[in-house]
Amino acid sequence: MKIGFIGMGHMAQALVRGWNATRQQEAEEILAYAPHRKKLLDNAARLGFTAADSPRDLVAASDLVIMACKPYQVESVLSETADLLQEKPLLSIALGWDFARYHSVLGSAQRVRYVMPSTPAEVGEGVFLLEDVHSLTEEEEEVSRLLFAGIGKVMVMPSHLMGIAGTISGCGPAFADMIIEAFGDAGVKYGLPRDAAYALASQMLLGAAKLQRDTGRHPAELKDAVCSPGGSTIRGVTALEAHGLRAACQAAVDAVMGYEK
């Protein structure tokens, strides 16, 4: 199956790297178009995909199209390729371009689904939010689900929850990276080499997340299990509370949700 990307930014590159690593999709079966030709060719040489000359060439040569350009570019792409897209399944990872928006522009004949991915797909740990409303055929829906399941966790979300779910799963990696950096800096402050500090912080976050995910235990229960009475961890927890960790995390989500409105 030939997959065509319209746009080859960080998220699209993460998907290609994830598929390359898992052999979920062979690089030579991936095509991409982006307006910055030199950058596209450099990425093609590095990641192994084929660079298309135009959006129309890309759509014509693809079995499945992924709209991965910036949201403000989508309408221009659609005006150029709408007739060809009617014959192809379309997955959109362009923020805000959900099922209803595509159908208002392209009409009910377009087979389309809105997907919100996350960059950890590059290492097989992405989150893929699939809007519950779509117009793909049953076979296309299954193919796309399997394609994403190979590089992360697939979750179907109602349209009205795509925004908040995508904020946590899609913006969250940046927030987590800031936590890793902060604990890394703290380690360096007390003498750890920076590479060791980052490795410890990353593995700590990964292990804690995996423990909660795999056991399903409440985060508070897991936190309490580490906090001995009068011990060092509870003192650290108290300091985080005093400095507003929970409020800061919730404020970050509020800021994103406010921006989306």
Q: In what order do the strands lie in the sheet with 30-33?
A: 50-51, 30-33, 3-6, 64-67, 89-92, 111-116, 126-131, 152-157
- 147 and 180 part of one domain: no
- 71 and 106 part of one domain: yes
- 223 and 248 part of one domain: yes
- 28 and 151 part of one domain: yes
Q: What is the pLDDT of residues 36-61, one digit of tens each?
A: 999 999 999 999 999 999 999 999 99
- 73 and 128 part of one domain: yes
Task: Write down which residue in 157, 179, 212 finishes a domain.
Answer: 157
Task: Write down which residue in 157, 187, 208 finishes a domain.
Answer: 157
Predicted pLDDT of residue 259: 65
How many domains, the chain? 2
Domain, as residue range, for 122: 3-157
CA 207 to CA 99: how far, in whole Å? Answer: 36
Two structure tokens written together for 142: 């299954």
Q: What is the pLDDT of residues 124-143, one digit of tens each?
A: 999 999 999 999 999 999 99
- 179 and 115 part of one domain: no
Provide the residue-wise pLDDT of the chain in tens; the chain has 261 residues: 999 999 999 999 999 999 999 988 888 899 999 999 999 999 999 999 999 999 999 999 999 999 999 999 999 999 999 999 999 999 999 999 999 999 999 998 899 999 999 999 999 999 999 999 999 999 999 999 999 999 999 999 999 999 999 999 999 999 999 999 999 999 999 999 999 999 999 999 999 999 999 999 999 999 999 999 999 999 999 999 999 999 999 999 999 999 654
- 212 and 148 part of one domain: no
Q: Is the dihedral of CA 4, 122, 43, 67 positive or negative?
A: positive
pTM: 0.92
- 137 and 187 part of one domain: no
Q: Which helix (H) or strand (E) holds 127?
A: strand 126-131
Q: What is the CATH number of the domain that holds 179?
A: 1.10.3730.10
**% the chain with pLDDT above 70:** 99
Question: Please, which residues bridge with residue 90 across strands?
Answer: 65, 112
CA 82 to CA 84: how far, in whole Å? Answer: 6
Closest CA to 9 of 62, 98, 72, 69: 69
Calculate the alpha carbon distances from 27 to 17, 35, 230, 251 in Å: 9, 20, 55, 40
Closest CA to 183 of 162, 205, 216, 160: 205
- 106 and 187 part of one domain: no
Using DSSP's 3-state secondary structure scheme, residue 247 falls into: helix
Two structure tokens written together for 73: 């570019």
Task: Write down which residue in 157, 175, 206 finishes a domain.
Answer: 157
- 110 and 169 part of one domain: no
Residue 21, judged by CB atoms within 10 A of its CB (0-12, 13-18, 19+), counts as middle
Q: What is the CATH number of the domain that holds 35?
A: 3.40.50.720
- 153 and 198 part of one domain: no
- 49 and 148 part of one domain: yes
| Helix 99-106 × helix 74-85 angle, to 10° | 70
